[in-house]
Structure 1
Amino acid sequence: MTVALMALALSMDAFSISVGIGLLGLRYKRIVLVSATVGFFHMIMPVVGIIIGRLLSEYMGALAFFIGGSGLIVLGMQMIISSVKKEPSSLFSPIGTGLVVFAMSVSMDSLSLGLTLGVLGVNTWLISTFFGVASAFFTGLGLMIGKKAGYWLGTGGEWIGGFVLLIFGVKMILTPF
């Protein structure tokens, strides 16, 4: 359940950004391609982070829970802060290089979270599968909402995702006590 909620939280930034991109009126074939690409990057990035985190965990021992929880808190705060900022985002075409840049940028939090989770020794394939599937689904959903309804939910989804990560970070720090 915790992994599923983390996957949901991480998917909210891709969802909120996708709502805005959906305003471009993408065709359904492009929506599937963008969703699959974001899902793929959300699967790969935490694996890289988990591998690095596991290497670090051998040297950190008891500090792993504190470091892991702190990482989640920082990620959650970054998501909340970026959702509150009123800066306009630039539009781009999610094709070719633009698609890869988009997918990588919304997957960077998965890399960071993977690093945090790797320190704690979690199941790599379970995490990456949940993150990838959830991100692909919510990216597609965001693109469809943006296509159909407009920009009415964009930043709210990112705020909710950040809040969930923040709660998990505090819970993780308090786990040893």
Structure 2
Amino acid sequence: MTTHALGEIVSLLFMAIALGMDAFSVSLGMGMQHIRLKRIAFIGIIIGLFHVMMPFFGIVLGQAISGKIGDLTSLVGGLLLVGIGTQMLLSAFNHESRQVIQTTGIGLFIFALGVSIDSFSVGLSLGLSGAKTALVLLLFGAASMVLTWMGMILGRKVHRLLGVYSEILGGSILCAFGLFIIFG
């Protein structure tokens, strides 16, 4: 393996971890809900798949779409996270309201889309730079899946320690991360 190829792998690995950190942060907040380990494993796989599909679509469309789309995807992703976090905060104070965003069905896909939409933008730029598509997709999917699992399991443990306040903390984390995506 040449030094150039190794350098490309290392830089793509760091990029994959950076993109997966939003999945970790959001999963930390979502893990504070009472979620079974089997569901956590499934959620990690779905988020990993979204972190494969989104940059793939970005790479494929990288030549055809202008750079303006990147800003829009970050805004949409940030707004989704703020919405999920706000809902968690409101449900923490109103015990009668049921959860709007679930980690099942369409709620899971909204959740996965929210944490993986930024990888679409990265895919656009990688498509323009001619990165190795298979390597990018493998690293992005694996890193986000493992980081999602880590975040949800850690969030689950924090939930046991904090009890009722964990939902407030989880919602605050989601809102803060969404705002960071929008304004950061």
Q: Structure 2: 5+ residue runs without aligned partners?
A: 1-9, 89-100, 160-168
Select the residue among 106, 121, 130 that pairs with 1:112: 121
Partner of 2:19: 10
Aligned pairs (5 A) from 1:1-177: 1-53=10-62, 55-56=63-64, 88-91=85-88, 92-150=101-159, 151=169, 154=173
* Conserved? CA contact 1:45–1:108, under 8 Å: yes
In structure 2, give the amino acid aligned to 1:119. Answer: L
1:19-51 deviations in Å (ceiling 9; x for gaps): 111111200000001000000000011011001
* Conserved? CA contact 1:56–1:119, under 8 Å: no
* Counterparts in 2 of 1:88 and 1:102: CA distance versus 1, 3 Å: closer
Which of structure 1's runs of 4+ aligned residues deviate more than 3 A? Answer: 150-155
Partner of 2:3: none
Secondary structure of the corresponding residue to residue 116 of structure 1? helix
- State the percentage of identical aligned residues: 36
* Conserved? CA contact 2:41–2:149, under 8 Å: yes
* Conserved? CA contact 1:12–1:158, under 8 Å: no
After superposition, the CA RMSD in angstroms is: 3.4
* Counterparts in 2 of 1:133 and 1:118: CA distance versus 1, 3 Å: same
TM-score, structure 1 length as denominator? 0.68
* Conserved? CA contact 2:31–2:151, under 8 Å: yes
Shift of 1:56: 3.9
Secondary structure of the corresponding residue to residue 86 of structure 2? coil
Secondary structure of the corresponding residue to residue 131 of structure 2? coil
Q: Structure 1: 5+ residue runs without aligned partners?
A: 61-66, 167-177
Distance 2:173 2:15 in 1: 19
Secondary structure of the corresponding residue to residue 127 of structure 1? helix
